[in-house]
Structure 1
Amino acid sequence: MTETAEVPAGSPSIQDVEEALKNVIDPELGVNIVDLGLLYGASYLEDGALKLDMTLTTAACPLQDVIEEQVEQNIGTLVDEWHVNWVWMPPWGMERITEDGRDQMRALGFNI
């Protein structure tokens, strides 16, 4: 399927999707996936499905299913059809963490 720049009628904006995904907390680090930089992008496909380009802190992360379940809980009421496109290149790095994410990590005791 091809991506489209347009938001399908009746669908939430990409900004609304990203805001909902801020409720998805990485179980190991305790920070949301958006501020951790795990969300590489979100777009709608021509068929109206939402595609989330995401990564994990490591390809061997055992919590992929947990994160997908949290995504479902937080956007399942916003969009009818969605899927995660797991992306491994470029690999995640600490430089992807937003300033808000860094503040959250410091509050949890991380030296970042």
Structure 2
Amino acid sequence: MADTHDTAAVPSPTPDEAERVGANLQTAGADKGSAIPPDELSRLTDDIVAALKTVYDPEIPADIYELGLIYKIDIDDDRNVDIDMTLTAPGCPVAGEMPGWVENAVGSVEGIQVVKVELVFDPPWTPERMSEEAQVAVGWF
């Protein structure tokens, strides 16, 4: 991102933080002096999370957000979104397709301009990143 834009950012939540990600994203934007009004930033955050929850890993019956595959969401003052995400395994058969699914889902959020998704593998994903909801979906409870 360009240094001329303030951004709102939050790492993907641990299972205990999953429900607080929206508040964290809004707080990060406010702390950095985001030009986006707090109520709009909150709406964008909620809508982005809702969009991420529509994207499912085809091998696991849970969405990518609850699986903990989203490592970072940045929203700049121009309402461009950068997302760092990972996969459950580097050799995932949909590795080439899933970033496009995420771009399309988040790009459909009203007010969002450009979405860029980067696949990262550091730190590697582990099942401990899953929320309780995802753990229930995969039968771990």
TM tier, shorter chain? 0.7 to 0.9
Name the one with the larger helix percent. 2
Residue of structure 2 equivalent to 1:27: 58
CA distance in 2, matches of 1:7, 1:19: 23
1:103 maps to 2:103: no
CA distance in 1, matches of 2:48, 2:98: 15
Which segment drifts farther, 83-92 or 72-81? 72-81
In the TM superposition, what are the counterparts of 1:89-100 in structure 2 within 5 Å? Answer: 89-100=122-133
Residue of structure 2 equivalent to 1:53: 84
How much does 1:48 deviate? 3.3
Give TM-score, length-normalised by structure 2: 0.65
Q: Give ranges in structure 2 of 5+ residues lacking alignment.
A: 8-28
CA distance in 2, matches of 1:82, 1:38: 17
User: Per the alignment, in what secondary structure is the counterpart of residue 59 of structure 1?
Assistant: coil
In the TM superposition, what are the counterparts of 1:4-83 in structure 2 within 5 Å? Answer: 4=7, 5=29, 6=34, 8=36, 12-45=43-76, 47-78=78-109, 79-83=112-116
Across the aligned residues of Structure 1 and Structure 2, the Cα RMSD in angstroms comes to 2.3
1:101 maps to a residue whose letter is A
Q: 1:13 to 1:92 in 2, by over 3 A?
A: same
Identity of aligned residues (%): 31
Give TM-score, length-normalised by structure 1: 0.80
Q: Give ranges in structure 1 of 5+ residues lacking alignment.
A: none
